Structure 1
C-alpha cells in the first residue's frame, strides 16, 4: 500500500481526445496568434469532430476557438459536410456559434449537367436575400446568380407606346402595335410562323436603332439567321453591328439563374426587345416544372418594369388537330396571339388572331397569315367565310377567290 501511495507510482489515464485535440487546438491558436491573419478557412469540421469523439468536448473546443479568433479580429470560414436532405447536418449548437450560415447543395438531373444552388440561412445584423440562388463552378472560383425579385425594379407608370411591325394589317390586329413594357405570348403548332413573327418585330426595331436579344432554345444560331435572311428579314448586318444579339442556348447545360442573369445584363445595357424562342426549351432548362411559373413570372415582371417588349414563343402539341400547350402561361402575358393551320382549296393555310390584349383594344378578327421567300410576313383580310378556325377544325363557307393569293415568291 505504501508503494502505491508514493507520488511516482500514481498515474492518470487520459482519453485520446484530451491529448490529440488539445495539441491540434494549441497548434492552431499559436499559429493564429503568430501570423494574425485577416481570414481563416477551417476545412473541415468533420475532421475536428472525429478528434473530439464526444459532442460535449467538440462544442467546448469550438467555443474556445471562437473566443480566441474573435480576440485576433479574424474572419473565420468553417466548412462542414451536409449530412441529410433536410437542414444542415451540423450540430445545432455549432450553428448558434456562427454569425452566418450558408447552405450549398448539388442536384443531379436524369440528363445534363449537375445543378448547384445555395441559400443563406442566417446572417446576424445584416439583411440578406432569402431563397435559393444558382451558382456554377468555373475557372477562377464560383459565379453566383442571385434570385431575381421584380419588386425591386418598380418604375414609374408611363403611357403605353406602340411598336409597329411595319405591316399595316398586323398592326391593325394589335390595335396599333405591341406596347412597350408588355409581354406577348405567341401560341401555335410547329411551322405556323411563330419565330418569324417575332423576328419581324426584332428587325423593325433594329432598323430604328433599338437593340434586340433573341434566345434560341430550339434552333441553331446559324440556321435561324439563314432562315431569316431567306424570308427577307436579314439580321446579319444588325448582329455584326451589335444591335441584335442572338444566343443559342443548350437547356441541358444552363442553370435557370444564369439565364435570368444574362437577360438582366443585356437589359441593363439598353436592350429594348427580348425574344425567348421557345418556352418549351426554357421549360426543359428547369430542374422541375414547378419552378417555371414562379421564375418566369419574376422575369416577365422585371422586363415589363424596364419598358422592354417581351415576346414569348410557346409551341403547342399537334399540327392539324386541336392543339394543346404543354403549360398554361397565358395569365403571365399581356397579349396572346394564336397561329393556326386551316385547309382551303386543297392547300394548307395559316391564320393569325389576337385573343387577348390587356393594355387596350384590339381587332377581334381572324386573318390569313403567310410566309414567303423574300417577302417575309404577309397578313391578309379577315377570314369572315370560315367557322371554327381557332378550334382547330375550321369549315370554309366562302369562295376560294377570297383567300390571299400567292405572289411570285415561293412559300
Structure 2
C-alpha cells in the first residue's frame, strides 16, 4: 500500500494519470489532457519505462494508445515489458526504423539527401497511424532521431511545431521522449511543450546509481517543485515525492510519553512530550541505543506501534542486546507492534527512506520512530548541508503527525573535551539527552543528563546510568562529583573509611 501524498490545489479536472502514483502526486493528479509533453533524460534514465507506464494506464482505462519508436525495435520494447512482467497487447506499436536494405549501395544512391526522404517518410507514417487509430495517448520515441533527420535547428523546430499543431484538436495527449544527445544549448522542445519532466541518473562515489526527476515546467497547473528520487525495479518505476511538512496541519496534543523507568522520567520532567523530537548523543557504547529501545518497549507495552530504522547494527544484534538486558523483543514483534528495519545507507536514497517512514506512520499507525543513528543517515545524504534540511523537514512532519521521534547520534572520541559530533542536530531537536563515560575508583561508569527540553521543565542534575541484565536503571544525582562531563571527575564527598 502506497502512501497517499496530499496534493496542491489544481483547477484541472479529468487529468490523464501517468500510471506512476508518485509522479501523479507531483503533478497534482496527473497531466492536463490533450497537450504535448516532453520527457527528457540521458540514455538509461528510465524514459521508455515511464512512457510505457503512461500507455498501459490508458489501455487499462479502455483508451486507444500508440507507441511510435524511431530507434528501438518492437521486439526490444516487448523484451523490456517482459522483464517487468507487463502485457503490451493493448498498445499499438509503430516501428519506424531503417531496414537492413538501407545498408545496400543501391538504397544510398539518390538525388536527394537521405535525411530529406527519411524525414518525410517518418512524418507521413506517424500522421497516417494517428489518423487511422485516433489514439488518446501517443508516445514518440525519440526526438533525437527527428533532430538528426531535420539536419538543422530551424527545420527541427518547425517539425516539432507541425506535430503540435497536428495533434491540437484531436483529443490526444502526447509524450515526446528525448535522450539529450544534442547540443546542450538546443532547447527547442522545451519552449514548445506544455510540460517538461527531466529524468536524471548519476553514480555516487560509492554504491549503485541513483535516479531523480524534476518537473521544470507545467503550464497553467500547480506541481511540487524540486528533485524527487525514484527507482526502477522489476515491475516498473516508483517515485518518492519530496516531503513538504507544511502540507500537514499541526496537532496540538502534547501528552507525556513515559519510558517505564521512573528515575529517567523524573530526569526528563515527567517524560518526553508527544509529537516532539529527542536527540540522544554520546560516545560509542554509552547506552544510546538501549535508552532509545527502552522507550520503544514502553510504547509497545501501551499497545502503541513503534518503528526503528537501524543503520549501524543488524536486527539480530539489536534483539540479542535487548534479550541480554532482560527485554526480549520477540513478543512485541509477533504482535505487530514493533517494526525493525535494517538499512544499508549505500543502497537507499533519501527519498526512499522518507517514503518508508511515511508508510510506517500513515499506513501502520506508528506513534514512535527511532533513527539509529544519524551517522548512518548522514551517509545516505548527498552532503551534510542537505542532511540538516531534510532532517528538519522529516522531524517537522513527524511532529505534526503526532509522532514522537528519537534520534541517536554517536560522537567521536570517548572522554574529554575533544569529543565531536559528525553533524550538529541539537538545534533541531526539542530535547537533548547527553550520555558520558567517567572514571571512578578504577571503574568506567556512565552518566546521563538532560541539557535541553523545549516543552517543559527538566532536572539539571547528572545521574549515573546503569545497564545490566535487569534492564536500565538511573541512579541518584552525582552530587559528590565535579567534572563528570569531562570524563575525569573530581571527588568532592567522603567515602566510608576514607577522609576527604
TM-score by length of structure 1 reads 0.90
Contact 1:33–1:72 (CA<8 Å) still a contact in 2?
no
Mapped to 2, the partners of 1:19 and 1:221 lie a distance apart of 64
> Deviation per CA, 1:250-307, whole angstroms, max 9, x where unpaired?
1110010010011111111311100000000000111222210111000000011111
> Counterpart of 2:77?
none
The reply to whether residue 78 of structure 1 matches residue 176 of structure 2 is yes
Indicate which of 238, 253, 264 corresponds to 1:143: 238
Mapped to 2, the partners of 1:75 and 1:169 lie a distance apart of 65
Mapped to 2, the partners of 1:83 and 1:17 lie a distance apart of 18
> Counterpart of 1:336?
432
The reply to whether residue 229 of structure 1 matches residue 327 of structure 2 is no
Question: Matches of residues 9-408 of structure 1 in structure 2 within 5 Å?
Answer: 14-82=112-180, 89=184, 91-158=186-253, 160-268=254-362, 269-322=364-417, 323-373=419-469, 375-399=470-494
RMSD: 1.6
Contact 2:251–2:401 (CA<8 Å) still a contact in 1?
no
Contact 1:337–1:354 (CA<8 Å) still a contact in 2?
yes
1:252 match: secondary structure: coil
1:46 match: secondary structure: helix
Contact 1:80–1:90 (CA<8 Å) still a contact in 2?
no
Instruction: Give the 3 Å change call, closer, same or farther, for CA 82–330 of structure 1 in structure 2.
Output: farther
Mapped to 2, the partners of 1:60 and 1:14 lie a distance apart of 20
Instruction: Give the 3 Å change call, closer, same or farther, for CA 156–164 of structure 1 in structure 2.
Output: closer
2:346 match: secondary structure: helix
Gaps of 5+ in 1: 1-11, 402-411
Displacement of 1:99 in angstroms is: 0.7
Mapped to 2, the partners of 1:90 and 1:74 lie a distance apart of 29
Mapped to 1, the partners of 2:207 and 2:251 lie a distance apart of 41
Displacement of 1:90 in angstroms is: 6.8
2:168 match: secondary structure: helix
Gaps of 5+ in 2: 1-109
> Deviation per CA, 1:367-399, whole angstroms, max 9, x where unpaired?
0001001x1101000001111222344223334
Contact 1:370–1:378 (CA<8 Å) still a contact in 2?
yes
Name which of structure 1's ranges 75-84 and 104-113 shifts more when overlaid on structure 2. 75-84
Mapped to 1, the partners of 2:459 and 2:333 lie a distance apart of 33
Mapped to 1, the partners of 2:251 and 2:405 lie a distance apart of 18
Mapped to 1, the partners of 2:134 and 2:488 lie a distance apart of 79
Mapped to 2, the partners of 1:392 and 1:363 lie a distance apart of 20
Name which of structure 1's ranges 261-270 and 142-151 shifts more when overlaid on structure 2. 261-270
Mapped to 2, the partners of 1:89 and 1:120 lie a distance apart of 18
Displacement of 1:125 in angstroms is: 1.9
Contact 1:173–1:365 (CA<8 Å) still a contact in 2?
yes
Displacement of 1:69 in angstroms is: 2.0
